[in-house]
């Protein structure tokens, strides 16, 4: 797999590049936002949000505009929920907080790329829940007549909820459907739900059922 590693710390970049190559990935390194946006197409972008020449969130948006399908994992020392939500809203598929282990990062990479592979096997179909319309084949979403741009995991999360609209979907079920695991993603689920609510511009559309999971309002 071809990976674009955007990291301005030489020691961190060297260590990550070495670890990624050991795992069979081809690594393209970029130290600045300018280098990142000029890079050739890749399968995955590991994007440090603290760059010397431009805010990483802006870079994330730019990369997503150029390539809707590329997998993006934001990497940052910013650990607050606000920062995570901002990263996901900017177009990242996942958000990893520094410091992290290579084991965790590799697991996140595998999960993101599984979603990419599965999306290419989606059959033509659509879901309609009230004014919400989801084109599964094109991976596009509309609320009334307004198209909503969602990151990969946000889309998968919405589909998982829409398939059981009106019913409560347990947290473990959502984690399994979207991340293919029931561990280490509990906070990620909450962050993605928050980002999804913001993009749908209807906080009540995705309802929280405390202690159980989430429910997409039917109608």
Give the N- to C-terminal CA distance of the chain in Å, as an integer. 42
Spell out a b/e string for 120-145, using b for 16 or more CB atoms within 10 Å of the CB, else e.
Answer: eeeeeeebebeebbbebeebbbebee
pLDDT tens-digit readout, 63-114: 988 888 889 999 999 888 889 999 999 999 899 998 888 988 988 888 888 7
- Residue the block writes with tokens 């290579």: 102
Choose the weakest-confidence range: 18-32, 117-131, 138-152, 187-201. Answer: 117-131
pLDDT of residue 214: 93
| DSSP bridge partners of 50 | 55
Is residue 157 within 8 Å of residue 145, measured between CB atoms?
no
Say whether pLDDT at 182 is over 80.
no
Report pTM.
0.60
- Residue the block writes with tokens 């081809």: 26
Is 38 in a helix, a strand, or coil? helix
Say whether pLDDT at 124 is over 50.
no
Percentage of residues in the chain with pLDDT exceeding 70?
Answer: 92
């Amino acid at each position: 797999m071809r990976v674009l590693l955007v990291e301005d710390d030489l020691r961190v970049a060297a260590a990550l590049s070495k670890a990624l190559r050991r795992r069979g990935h081809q690594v393209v390194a970029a130290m600045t936002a300018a280098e990142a946006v000029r890079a050739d197409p890749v399968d995955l972008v590991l994007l440090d949000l603290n760059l010397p020449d431009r805010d990483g969130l802006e870079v994330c948006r730019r990369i997503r505009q150029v390539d809707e399908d590329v997998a993006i994992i934001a990497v940052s020392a910013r650990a607050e929920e606000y920062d995570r939500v901002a990263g996901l809203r900017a177009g990242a598929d996942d958000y990893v907080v520094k410091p992290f282990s290579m084991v965790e990062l590799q697991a996140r990479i595998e999960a993101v790329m599984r979603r990419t592979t599965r999306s290419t096997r989606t059959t033509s179909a659509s879901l309609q829940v009230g004014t919400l319309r989801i084109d599964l084949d094109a991976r596009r979403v509309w609320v009334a007549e307004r198209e909503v741009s969602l990151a990969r995991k946000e889309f998968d999360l919405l589909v998982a909820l829409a398939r059981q609209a009106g019913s409560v979907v347990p947290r473990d079920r959502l984690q399994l459907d979207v991340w293919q695991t029931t561990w280490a993603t509990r906070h990620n689920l909450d962050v993605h739900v928050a980002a999804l609510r913001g993009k749908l511009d209807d906080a009540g559309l995705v309802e929280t059922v405390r202690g159980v999971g989430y429910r997409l309002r039917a109608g």
